[in-house]
Amino acid sequence: MYLDFYGFTEKPFNITPNPRFVFLSKIHREAFAHLLYGVRDRAGFIELTGEVGTGKTTVLRTLLGQLDEEGYRTALIFNPRLSALELLGAVCREFGIPTESRSTAQLHDDLNAFLLEENAAGRTVVLVIDEAQNLEPGVLEQVRLISNLETKTDKLIQIVLAGQPELGEMLERQELRQLNQRITVRYHLLPMDMEDTGAYIAHRLAVAGGGGAVVFPSAALKRIYRFSAGYPRLINIVCDRVLLVAYSEDKREVSSEMIATAIRELRRQVRRPLWRRPRFWPAVAGTAALCLALGFFALDSSAPPTSASLPGVTATGVPLPSETDLRKIASSLQPGARGTEVTQLQTFLHASGWYEGKPSGIFDQATVASIRKFQAACGLEQDGMPGSRTLLLLYREGEKSAPARPAKGKTGT
């Protein structure tokens, strides 16, 4: 959408790996140097770990691009959710080994013959397994057996295991100690620093052909870095969105306000449904227990509760808390609060008909405003079911106000 406006030949911040946009920061160059050293020195096993979005795949593709066909034979496995037999077959296919066998032993022999031929021709064979944290322990053992293919003086295959930090944790298992001991080169990839983040953005803009048509001032770069923490993937996502925001405002200089807008939009997109949030169901369970304690559930659910049926409430009615007390309690609570005040307010509101849709003359405007503020502070809200008198105590992950209610007259829904 914004390509013509800024003069780009292609999107500068696409999250799909593109060799034309490869940028090696200080940390990426160091990781690349470790991998290249391990391969050229025939270390056998090399481990590369890093959090999601740090650029592991970029480093791996850069490594494979630097290994010329005359001196190296390479293969990349990027879908390691395979059985031991399937992995061995995939390795043979990636190296172009002609085999139709479905036997582990035969595939192993075919691979060994291929490795001996390549070694005799003076070529180094390199196998790269990306997302290796997804390998089952039994499959990793098969990888170790592949590494056993060697001559008296040389390893016949160099294996690079790349994955998230869980890979390192898995290799620490007792049953994988033989494989773990064979890894002689290890590197953990960290995010970029502020300086490299700015250089990364400038590099991608230049490769895309913008010719300086869009400017990211220092303040904007700092805000991007604070949001992304130096993770290339997050930088790409927020920069792509902020270019769209700048385009919509017909601006060629990115401001901090535009970045704030882009970040808000991204956070709304990735917000999970309420029932999938980790603290939702514990909150529901707590609410159910609270409702039972207050007597909201009766054997005859069709009969509305009376004032006398509620704990701490007499048949003559409930004394209205003072506006001062309500304001004091509300101002001291945060979203998601629990406690005696919440229970008391629930009891009071149910007894007074707040949730029953009954008009009540006991609520003046100031008190209604105080109760609403209290509800917002406590994170209290009706569950939205018609006629329901059950409340959900919801833990909020962001700002969310209580549902609007009329200030006068009917105070229920």
The residue assigned the tokens 């920069």 is 239
pLDDT digits (tens, 9 = 90+) for 7-56: 898 899 988 878 888 898 999 999 999 999 999 988 889 999 999 989 99
pLDDT of residue 328: 55
Q: Helix, strand, or coil here: 95?
A: coil
The sign of the torsion formed by the CA atoms of 14, 16, 21, 26 equals: positive
CATH superfamily for domain 26-189: P-loop containing nucleotide triphosphate hydrolases (3.40.50.300)
Domain 3-14+193-270, second-level architecture: Orthogonal Bundle (1.10)
**Which residue, among 267, 217, 214, 271, has the nearest Cα to 244 in the 3D structure?**
214
Which H or E run includes 160? strand 157-163
Give the CA distances from residue 133 to residues 38, 140, 171, 338, in Å, rounded to whole numbers and listed in that order.
20, 10, 9, 40
The residue assigned the tokens 């740090």 is 54
Residues 6 or more apart whose Cβ sits within 8 Å of residue 109: none
Are 256 and 223 a contacting pair, CB within 8 Å? Answer: yes
- N-to-C CA span, the chain: 44
pLDDT of residue 190: 92
pLDDT of residue 102: 78
The amino acid at 47: E
Which H or E run includes 163? strand 157-163
φ/ψ of residue 189, rounded to 5: -85, 125
Local confidence pLDDT in tens for the 413 residues of the chain? 788 888 898 899 988 878 888 898 999 999 999 999 999 988 889 999 999 989 998 899 889 988 988 899 999 998 778 888 888 899 999 999 987 777 888 898 899 999 999 999 999 999 999 999 999 988 998 888 888 887 777 789 999 999 999 999 999 999 999 999 999 899 999 999 999 999 999 999 999 987 678 899 999 999 999 999 999 999 999 999 999 999 988 899 999 899 999 888 887 654 444 444 444 445 555 555 555 544 443 334 343 333 333 333 333 334 445 555 555 554 554 444 444 455 555 555 555 555 544 434 455 566 666 666 666 655 554 332 222 222 222 222 223 333 333 343 433 43
Are 313 and 259 a contacting pair, CB within 8 Å? Answer: no
Which H or E run includes 129? strand 124-129
In angstroms, how far is CA 343 from the centroid of its own chain? 36
pLDDT of residue 158: 93
Q: Give the pair of three-digit tokens for residue 4.
A: 């013509």
pLDDT digits (tens, 9 = 90+) for 268-310: 654 444 444 444 445 555 555 555 544 443 334 343 333 333 3
In order, the DSSP letters of 193-228 are -HHHHHHHHHHHHHHTT-TT-SB--HHHHHHHHHHH
In order, the DSSP letters of 298-356 are -SSTTSPPPGGGSTT-BTTB-PPPPHHHHHHHHHH--TT--SHHHHHHHHHHHHHTTTT
pLDDT of residue 284: 52
φ/ψ of residue 241, rounded to 5: -70, -40
Residues 306 and 292: their CA atoms lie apart, in Å, by: 15
pLDDT of residue 391: 29
**What are the sequence ranges of the domains in the chain?**
3-14+193-270, 26-189, 274-393
